Structure 1
Amino acid sequence: MTESLEFSALLQLVDERSAAFRSAVAAAPGPDAPVPSCPGWTLFDLVRHLGTGQRWWAAIAAGPAEAPPAKDAGEVPHDLEALLAWYAESNALLLGALREAGPERECWAWWSLGVSPANAWGVARRRVHEVLVHTYDAQLAAGAVQPMPADVAIDGVAEFLDTCNSTPAAWPHKAATIHYHAVEGRSWLLTLDGTGAWPAPLTEDAAPASVSATGTAEQLLLFVWGRLTMSDLKLEGDQQVFEQLIAWEPEE
């Protein structure tokens, strides 16, 4: 893994980012407001999605499992005040389950074949960035996007590479490397070849990349999450590699 935030710090970030998420939802025109970064979704859909995810991962963090539990959030209220209370309860359930589990408890995770560990620490880290990006979505819907904490965005780029871009599934194209450069002074390497896709810290003696992307950590995070496009970053090299990666659906 390319970053190593402490478990207690991750739990605090889940709580802090969730508070920012609720504030953004409360400031928006209402539950039926569209979410520009999630085409076809309203704020109600966004809150339901994130709250259901918090409850689902709370159940997963309870212990090892061969398969995940079914997603069941029950009835989600549409009234704004009740909806925010439902989300707050969802977040509290997740935090309680993670604290009870402790960082080392193994559990099911869809990224278990990748770099990030399938344990409560890995779950906490994933939820930090799920809430972080969806807070951006909610703020966009409210028309008042706030800058992300740079250190959290930096870890977010690394976490995405450790989970979403970490797989033993063979890369179906010509072997390639991608360099991500954050202007805050952090860089990452993603290798794509017959052994799969694997992230690693970018060293000074690394060979030239097939393609590189430079931007703020927030811009890079929003790019890998599909909120920004290649035109929003400074790119050098073969941009087709990014197009191939975005379109890739590995079978494991």
Structure 2
Amino acid sequence: MDTARLAEDLREQTAGFARAVAGGDPDAEVPTCPEWRLRDLAGHIGHAHRWTAELVHQAADAPIAAPAADDPGPQDTWERWLTEGAEKVIDAVQEAPAGARVWSMAGPTPPMFWLRRMLGDTVIHHYDAAATTGAPFDVADDLAADVISEGMGLLAEPSAVRFKPELAELRGRGETIVIRPDSGQGWVITRTPEGIRCERGDGDGDVVVSGPVTELMLVFTRRVPARDVTGDRALLDHWLTHTSF
């Protein structure tokens, strides 16, 4: 996806998220993130967008300070506040000079990395908001596929184990997990002695998870249980346990 498409989708997904959280009880527990209330979810997205925009704006070569709290303010301001945050990310990325680099957990990276990262985060939390308030949730198949690819790329990044030590438990001896969507190309995850390898591809594996691509996106972000699994279910459960955030 190019910058224009990522920006369009971030606007759309943030707007859907904003409508969902603005229409619910701010103190409702988020069933897919039970440690959070709805107001925490709104605050997380709004502040994550603003933190990202400032990181890119500064072309920072190290993480910048995060907000002291995720307070989103009065609920009747949430929709405007959230959509403004998404625009700040888009503006910062689009205004970055050619060749700009900014800190990321994977090392110095073009600013578009953060536009894609915020889109993936927003898509999943849009689902969380919809699951809390009963609002509609919709995501295009190619966007759901990109959320999977982006997430798998982060997990396979060698430096990721510094931020999430549990990923070291996913080193293996060549065991494979196949993500097989109903249409389009799938993903093959291989557990090697050096770490995780994830590639686009098809075929059989030690365990295969099949289904619509949006459902698979939600399975591998631990929002819904896998329904169509063949092979070593324990291998899948181990993966999901050690990739939870």
Separation in 2 of the partners of 1:134 and 1:222? 11
Separation in 2 of the partners of 1:197 and 1:81? 44
1:183 corresponds in structure 2 to 182
The DSSP-based 3-state class of the residue aligned with 2:229 is strand
C-alpha displacement of 1:77: 4.6
- Select 1:157's aligned residue among 148, 155, 158: 148
The DSSP-based 3-state class of the residue aligned with 1:164 is helix
Normalized against structure 2, the TM-score is what?
0.86
Separation in 2 of the partners of 1:141 and 1:246? 22
| Count of matched residue positions in the alignment of Structure 1 and Structure 2 | 235
Contiguous gaps of at least 5 residues in structure 1: none
After TM superposition, what 4+ stretches of structure 1 lie above 4 angstroms from structure 2?
168-171
Separation in 1 of the partners of 2:135 and 2:178? 31
2:193 corresponds in structure 1 to 194
C-alpha displacement of 1:103: 7.5
Q: Percent identity?
A: 26
2:236 corresponds in structure 1 to 242
Q: Are residue 227 (structure 1) and residue 187 (structure 2) matched?
A: no
- When residues 241 and 111 of structure 1 are mapped into structure 2, their CA distance, relative to the original with a 3 A threshold, is farther
- When residues 10 and 133 of structure 1 are mapped into structure 2, their CA distance, relative to the original with a 3 A threshold, is same
1:23 corresponds in structure 2 to 19
- When residues 60 and 69 of structure 1 are mapped into structure 2, their CA distance, relative to the original with a 3 A threshold, is same
2:109 corresponds in structure 1 to 118
The DSSP-based 3-state class of the residue aligned with 1:214 is strand
Separation in 1 of the partners of 2:109 and 2:32? 29
Separation in 2 of the partners of 1:20 and 1:103? 31
- When residues 82 and 185 of structure 1 are mapped into structure 2, their CA distance, relative to the original with a 3 A threshold, is same
C-alpha displacement of 1:141: 1.2
1:217 corresponds in structure 2 to 213
Separation in 2 of the partners of 1:12 and 1:102? 20
- When residues 118 and 239 of structure 1 are mapped into structure 2, their CA distance, relative to the original with a 3 A threshold, is farther
The DSSP-based 3-state class of the residue aligned with 2:222 is coil
Q: Are residue 93 (structure 1) and residue 84 (structure 2) matched?
A: no
Task: Determine which structure has the larger helix proportion and give its number.
Answer: 2
1:130 corresponds in structure 2 to 121
2:51 corresponds in structure 1 to 56
C-alpha displacement of 1:221: 0.7
Normalized against structure 1, the TM-score is what?
0.84
Asked if structure 2 preserves the Cα contact closer than 8 Å seen for 1:7 and 1:103, the reply is no
The DSSP-based 3-state class of the residue aligned with 1:186 is coil
Q: Which amino acid aligns with 1:95?
A: I
State the superposition RMSD in angstroms: 2.3
- When residues 161 and 111 of structure 1 are mapped into structure 2, their CA distance, relative to the original with a 3 A threshold, is same
Q: Deviations over 1:5-62 (max 9, x none)?
A: 111111111111111111112222x322221111031110001011111111112222
Asked if structure 2 preserves the Cα contact closer than 8 Å seen for 1:219 and 1:233, the reply is no
